[in-house]
Every structure is written in C-alpha cells, then in structure tokens.
Amino acid sequence: MSISENINNYLKQIGDHVTLVAVSKTKPQEDIQEAYNAGQRVFGENKAQEMTAKYEALPKDIKWHMIGHLQRNKVKYIAPYVSLVHSVDSIRLLKEINKEAKKNNRIINCLLQVYIAKEESKFGLDESEVIDLIENTLPELKNIKIAGLMGMATNTQNQATIENEFNGLATFFEGLKSNQFKDSTAFQTLSMGMSGDYSLAIACGSNMVRIGSAIFGTRNYKH
Ligand SMILES: *Cc1c(COP(=O)(O)O)cnc(C)c1O
C-alpha cells in the first residue's frame, strides 16, 4: 500500500472526531509531501532540528506537532511555528516554552505528557505533578495554553494492560476537564494511540492518534 492509500484508510477508520497525527520522524520530505498531497496536514516529529528543516522545506499550512522528549535548549528552534507540543514532561520545560512563545509573540498549545506505562524509561508527569503544575505554575504562564493530555502505553502484547493504562488516562483527563479546566475551552485533546494500539485507544476515549510506521513503513533507526 502506498502512503496516500494508508492516509485515506486511516482517515476513514478513525472517523471525524479523532485527529490523525502522521508521525514522519526519520522519513524523507518526499514521503511527507505524498501524505500532504493525499490531504494530510498534521505531522508529528520527535527531534527539534529535523522538524525545523522539514518545516522550512515543506508547505506552510502543515501543522507540526512535537511528540518526542524535548530538551529545553531546543525549544527556541520550534517556538516560531510549532502547532502543538505533546511531550511536556516537566515544569522547567513548560516555563522555557512559555519564555520562547513570548519572544515570538505567540501562545503555544501544549499537552501534558502523563506517565502511564510500566517501563522505567518513559518520560512523563504523574497525576499529582500534573495537578501541582496546573494549580501552581500554569497561572503565571501567559503564553501557554494547555490543550489536553498525552500518554504512551506500555509496549506489550497484553491488551488488558494497555486498556487499563488508556482507561486510567481517560478518567484522569475527564476529571481535569470537569474540575481544574471546567472554564477552559482549550482543554479538549486526549492524545493516545500509535500504530499498534490506536483502535484500543480510540475505544478508551482518545481523540488524537499518532501513527507512524503503519503509514510510512518501518523506520530504519530507532529513537
Ligand atoms: C514514534 C512515535 C509514535 C509513532 O509510533 P508508531 O508505532 O510508528 O506508530 C507515536 N508517538 C510517539 C511519542 C512516538 O515517539
């Protein structure tokens, strides 16, 4: 199947209320252009400089999403144009994004990445850190809009484990939405689900899926 056939199939499968982020990390610009020509406008990358090079070369109506762990000294590269940062995993990072957003006279949309997996290596905040950040840090960050949450399930074949993690994040999301964010129109996005688990994620309440290898083919190197 071609990239454009894959895009069309996924758009059909996930339905209107779920946003497809086509994860193009490590893939050449031609592949992104092909997906673009099929109508795809939202692309996810995990390296600031790689995303910026692609941003500069490709059509300007593409929405670029940063989905990978972001170092604070790289924020300046993406602040002028990034559409959504999925991977806010510390207060220090959020403050840096706010600073660079202000320099660029922008408000940057962010998702808080919540740690839901059993693996030690995964980045993210736990629930109490999220609540602390929202209540104590966010009020002073005028150039940040928190648009929702992002999570990555454990990399396992065990569907019950994944389902449990997705349901936990969905419950936390709904709780924040009706409490801390009850007056926010921005807090709407629950980003969960990748190539291997997106349909389960949608069943658990995801409204944004990040699909890479199932659209563009397997990557040559891992990050
Ligand atoms: C690479 C990546 C994806 C996409 O993974 P696939 O399994 O190729 O669909 C999704 N989310 C994040 C955070 C990633 O780093």
Task: State which ligand 1 atom lies nearest to the alpha carbon of 23.
Answer: 4
Q: Is 46 in the pocket of ligand 1 (CB under 6 A)?
A: yes
Cα dihedral value 79, 104, 187, 212, nearest 10: -20
CA 23 to ligand 1 center in whole angstroms: 6
Assigned token pair, 145: 């809009």
- If one residue of 31, 43, 194, 213 were mutated to test the ligand 1 pocket, choosing by the most ligand atoms within 8 A of its CB, it would be 194
Task: State which ligand 1 atom lies nearest to the alpha carbon of 46.
Answer: 15
Q: What pLDDT is attached to residue 222?
A: 52
Distance CA 168, CA 218 (A): 29
Q: How many helices (H) and strands (E) does the chain have?
A: 9, 8
Assigned token pair, 83: 């559409």
CA 156 to ligand 1 center in whole angstroms: 14
CA 122 to ligand 1 center in whole angstroms: 13
> What tens-digit pLDDT sequence spans the chain (223 residues)?
899 999 999 999 999 999 999 999 999 999 999 999 999 999 999 999 999 999 999 999 999 999 999 999 999 999 999 999 999 999 999 999 999 999 999 999 999 999 998 876 678 999 999 999 999 999 999 999 999 999 999 999 999 999 999 999 999 999 999 999 999 999 999 999 999 999 999 999 999 999 999 999 998 765 4
Exposed / middle / buried, residue 106 (Cβ in 10 Å: 0-12, 13-18, 19+): middle
Cα dihedral value 175, 178, 184, 189, nearest 10: 40
In three-state form (DSSP H/G/I as H, E/B as E, the rest C), the secondary structure along 110-138 is EEEEECCCCCCCCCCECHHHHHHHHHHHH
Nearest CA to ligand 1 atom 4: 212
